[in-house]
Amino acid sequence: MKICFSTLGCPDWTFSEITSFASDMGFDGIEIRGIKGELYAPAIPEFSANKIEATKKKLKSLSLTIPCLTSACDLNNENDIKAAKEYVDTAGALGVPYVRLLGDPTPDPSGDVNLKAITNNIAQIADYAKTKGVTPLIETNGFFAKTRILSALLGDIGNDNIGVLYDIHHPYRFFGESPAYTIKNVGGYIKHVHIKDSVMEGKKVSYRMLGEGTIPVKEAVRALKDSGYRGFYSLEWLKRWDLSLEDPDVAFVQFKEFMDAI
């Protein structure tokens, strides 16, 4: 089982601190969602043209990989196509296989999606990404956490260079989907997995350490394994958006122990 954590969970750490911690604690990789004050991966100094080779060498020396660059690019927005392609360029230069894109900009279903625009935009990005050895992933997020709809969209597009980032939280929390049902719908497309836990406090989602919420994390991991999934499991700890959450060294270590126990 390959595990990593999203840098969303350690907004104050430098790239060097992130890689050292990941290596020391026995992680297999790191998912990039910003480094310190820079959220836009193509602008991260370590990924610049004059530093990228040294960065790749450092990652290799620490036996770490970057499985995914997690963008905030919205497939409903034509203005985000350029940024999505820049993410693809950076991923290609780094040897990163996947770039996350959003079909809905909010975790909970906004309903404000343009299926025609999404279809056209993802197909365009997928064709471009294929020339760079990169696959764009649509996350089970917002409107597309209803995976029957996501499955239909992918089938209609019919492009073999598009995958799914399965965030186990959203389909269960917002649509009551069991992991088995989600995997039945989109299992053949799943290339990367986000893990997090939560409870509902009234109508508000409140995030918790793994095992302290009501998301069926263990069930999802076992169902993925049974389905043949062999990619990364990534802790998406939302510390950057909620500073009241436990510090990254606590959350990341607990995640590793939790996954080792599974």
CA 1 to chain centre: 17
Q: What's the confidence (pLDDT) of residue 106?
A: 85
Query: In sequence order, what are the residues at sequence separation of 6 or more whose Cβ sits closer than 8 angstroms to the Cβ of residue 212?
Result: 197, 199
pLDDT band at 46 (very low <50, low <70, confident <90, very high): very high
- Give start and end residues of each alpha helix (H) in the chain: 15-24, 52-61, 81-94, 115-130, 147-157, 169-175, 179-186, 217-227, 248-261
Q: Determine the average pLDDT of the residues in 22-46.
A: 98
Residues 72, 154, 118, 40, Cα dihedral to 10°:
20
Q: What dihedral do alpha carbons 174, 177, 179, 184 form, nearest 10°?
A: -130
Residue 111 above 80 pLDDT? no
Q: 150 lies in which domain range? A: 2-261
Question: What secondary structure letter does DSSP report for 102?
Answer: E
Residue 105's pLDDT band, with cuts at 50, 70 and 90, is confident
127 in Cβ contact with 159 (< 8 Å): yes
| For residues 238-245, average pLDDT | 96
Range 13-39 average pLDDT: 98
- 26 pLDDT band (50/70/90 cuts)? very high
Q: Where does the pLDDT of residue 98 fall: very low under 50, low under 70, confident under 90, or very high at 90 and above?
A: very high
Asked whether the predicted pLDDT for residue 114 surpasses 80, the reply is yes
Q: Angle CA(34)–CA(36)–CA(42) in degrees, nearest 5?
A: 40
Amino acid present at 153: L
- Rounded Cα distance between 252 and 246, Å, is 10
Amino acid at 140: T
What mean pLDDT is predicted for residues 235-247?
A: 97
What predicted TM-score, i.e. pTM, was given to this entire model?
0.97
Q: The domain spanning residue 7 has which CATH number?
A: 3.20.20.150
What pLDDT was estimated at residue 109? 85
Contact 91, 69 (CB under 8 A): yes
Q: How many domains does the chain have?
A: 1
Q: What is the mean pLDDT of residues 156-175?
A: 96
Q: pLDDT tens for residues 129-162?
A: 999 999 999 999 999 999 999 999 999 999 999 9
Give the pLDDT score at 110: 72
Task: Calculate ∠ Cα 161-166-168, nearest 5°.
Answer: 175
Q: What is the C-alpha to C-alpha distance for residues 238 and 107, in angstroms, rounded to an integer?
A: 12
On the question of pLDDT at 122 being above 80, the answer is yes
Distance of CA 31 to the CA centre of its chain: 7
Q: What is the pLDDT of residues 188-207, one digit of tens each?
A: 999 999 999 999 999 899 99
SS3 category, 105: coil
